[in-house]
Amino acid sequence: MKCENCTKKECSKKQKNDDTQSTSVDALSSGDGFEEKNEFPTLANAKILLSDCLACDSCMTSEEGARVFQQNQKELFHILNLNKKCDTSKHKVLAVSICPQSLPYFAAKFNLSVNDAAKRLCGFLKSLGVHYVFDTTIAADFSLLESQREFVQRYQRRNQEEHALPMFASACPGWIRYAERVLTNLVTSHICTAKSPQQIMGSLVKGYFARQQNLSPDKIFHVIVAPCYDKKLEALREDFYTALYNSQEVDCVLTSGEIVQIMEQKNVSMEDVTEVSVDTLFDDMKEGDVVRHDGKRSDGYLEHIFKYAAKELFGMEVKEITYKALKNKDFQEVTLEKDGETVLRFAAAYGFRNIQNMVLKMKKGKFLYHFVEVLACPGGCLNGKGQAQTEDGKPDKALLNQMEEVYAAIPVRLPETNVHVQKMYQDWLEGMDSKKVQETLHTTYSAVNQTASSLDIKW
């Protein structure tokens, strides 16, 4: 079989590809048997700093640091190059999944509507050689539905189980890292077991989609485009690895800013990119307009769980949620009253200063909340350091304001109304209460032994 760019019946593995449409990375190891020139000499390698997220050197092992270092644009182009070679045994189906909080960045940065931004981003990625581009909103549907059900079950067991409540959201890997490495048993048993949207998307792509395409999971290279660097660490978790296929659910995470770096290096303007509709996991169907979930700057765990719990536990329909800001705008409270009694008390805690205050209250036994949506970044996911900062590393407040406006204007879709999700529960997951649901959509969090020097980090 000939390569995509071959003009000969047989080609040498050492052939240099000077086609202007080809993309190359650093020279591969001599064991690969061919040489490639580096067209991306200025691309920054992934480096996680305390100013970017939780994962400072005290919280990362040297092995993790090395693996995070490998998660950069060069890895993407390594796979693209292999796909252009004659050795089909090394070819991969390349799938890219885009987080909903990344799309407003591209829309605001390039002055596009969010729907146009999604299609142009898809067109750009496919022009590089990506086969499929997905939206992770469907994965967030699953994560929200599982989180809702788990909260209600925990609430009903609150008098029998010491650690049933409070329940903490599990979608933010920076928060999870902090809880497992620093807070340990004080918090880990309270974390919701539903996987984050990123990792559920990994299960969907390497599980459901792979089966639909009759592919082995290790034949798919799955890239996530996300707002923050911590998502790179999340992809490396041992519980998101399938030993049978030697395959991670997510092979590489690139931040929104790293995608823009690729555009800049290739001198590509979004205005010149052909619009291509985003793919779905279902045969040849294409995505429609971009939708989001309730929530100002995130996937809306607080709002969805609050409304669901109000209805399931107390028979109350909540249409609108009223937030009460406490010490600052990143620590807000929502309550539900029935017959003059507060029956639900939820909070949103964004940024590590608020998280530390929350944990301090737990230690003092003064914690009143049933559920907390915890996010490491002040301002939420839109403010991820992989997209919302200037070149000198400072917050880009003007861009963030634009992103928030774009995100707020996206139509809301309830996860319960997604017919594909309901069908997948029955056809793929064998019912909502099946063992397969627990294996595919849930995980566990536990304390990790850590050195004393990492226990006193202050934000």
Which segment of 139-143, 317-321, 387-391 scores lowest on mean pLDDT?
A: 387-391
**Residue 54 scores a pLDDT above 60:** no
**Residue 154 scores a pLDDT above 50:** yes
Q: In the structure, what pLDDT confidence band is assigned to residue 171 with cuts at 50, 70 and 90?
A: very high
Q: In the structure, what pLDDT confidence band is assigned to residue 60 with cuts at 50, 70 and 90?
A: low
Q: What is the pLDDT of residue 392?
A: 77
For residues 65-70, give the mean pLDDT. 66
For 157, other C-beta atoms within 10 Å of its C-beta total: 12
DSSP code of 241? E
For 222-238, write each residue's pLDDT tens digit.
Answer: 999 999 888 998 998 88
One-letter identity of residue 88: T
For 380, other C-beta atoms within 10 Å of its C-beta total: 25
Q: What is the pLDDT of residue 34?
A: 31
Q: Which of these, 251, 249, 257, 193, lies nearest to 221 by C-alpha position?
A: 251
Angle at 97 between CA 94 and CA 101, to 5 degrees: 155
What percentage of the chain has pLDDT greater than the value 70?
82
Can you tell me the distance from the alpha carbon of 55 to that of 61, in angstroms, rounded to the nearest whole number? 10
Which segment of 34-43, 82-91, 222-231 scores lowest on mean pLDDT?
A: 34-43
* Exposure b/e, 91-120, CB count within 10 A at least 16 = b: bbbbbbbbbbbbbbbbbbbbebebbbbbbb
Q: In the structure, what pLDDT confidence band is assigned to residue 40 with cuts at 50, 70 and 90?
A: very low
Beta bridge partners of 226: 255
The residue ranking higher by pLDDT, 239 or 22, is: 239
Same fold, 53-138+198-272 and 143-195+293-441: no
Q: Which of these, 230, 251, 250, lies nearest to 60 by C-alpha position?
A: 230
**Tokens (6 digits) for 230:** 């911590």
Q: What is the pLDDT of residue 283?
A: 78
Q: In the structure, what pLDDT confidence band is assigned to residue 48 with cuts at 50, 70 and 90?
A: very low
For 291-337, write each residue's pLDDT tens digit.
Answer: 999 877 778 899 999 999 999 999 999 999 999 988 888 999 999 99
Q: What is the pLDDT of residue 62?
A: 65
Q: What is the pLDDT of residue 18?
A: 35
Q: What is the pLDDT of residue 438?
A: 95
Estimate the crossing angle of helix 73-82 against helix 256-265, to 10 degrees: 60
Residue with tokens 């008390």: 345
Q: What is the pLDDT of residue 141?
A: 97
Say if CB 56 and CB 43 are below 8 A apart: no
Q: What is the pLDDT of residue 442?
A: 96
Mean pLDDT taken over the chain: 83
Q: What is the pLDDT of residue 194?
A: 97
Which segment of 30-44, 74-88, 142-156 scores lowest on mean pLDDT?
A: 30-44
Sketch the domain layout of the chain as residue ranges: 53-138+198-272, 143-195+293-441
Name every residue whose Cβ is closer than 8 Å to that of residue 201 and which is 6 or more positions away in sequence. 97, 134, 136, 138, 139, 224, 250
Can you tell me the distance from the alpha carbon of 289 to that of 410, in angstroms, rounded to the nearest whole number? 9
Which segment of 38-52, 91-105, 246-260, 424-438 scores lowest on mean pLDDT?
A: 38-52
**Residue 459 scores a pLDDT above 50:** no
Helix (H, G, I), strand (E, B) or coil at 131: coil
Q: In the structure, what pLDDT confidence band is assigned to residue 36 with cuts at 50, 70 and 90?
A: very low
**Residue 165 scores a pLDDT above 70:** yes
In the CATH scheme, what is the code of domain 53-138+198-272? 3.40.50.1780
Say if CB 276 and CB 122 are below 8 A apart: yes
Beta bridge partners of 134: 97
Q: Tell me, which fold does domain 143-195+293-441 have in CATH?
A: Fe-only Hydrogenase (Larger Subunit); Chain L, domain 3 (3.40.950)
**Residue 344 scores a pLDDT above 90:** yes
Q: Which of these, 325, 329, 334, lies nearest to 306 by C-alpha position?
A: 334
One-letter identity of residue 68: V
Q: In the structure, what pLDDT confidence band is assigned to residue 67 with cuts at 50, 70 and 90?
A: low
Can you tell me the distance from the alpha carbon of 234 to that of 239, in angstroms, rounded to the nearest whole number? 10
Q: What is the pLDDT of residue 116?
A: 96
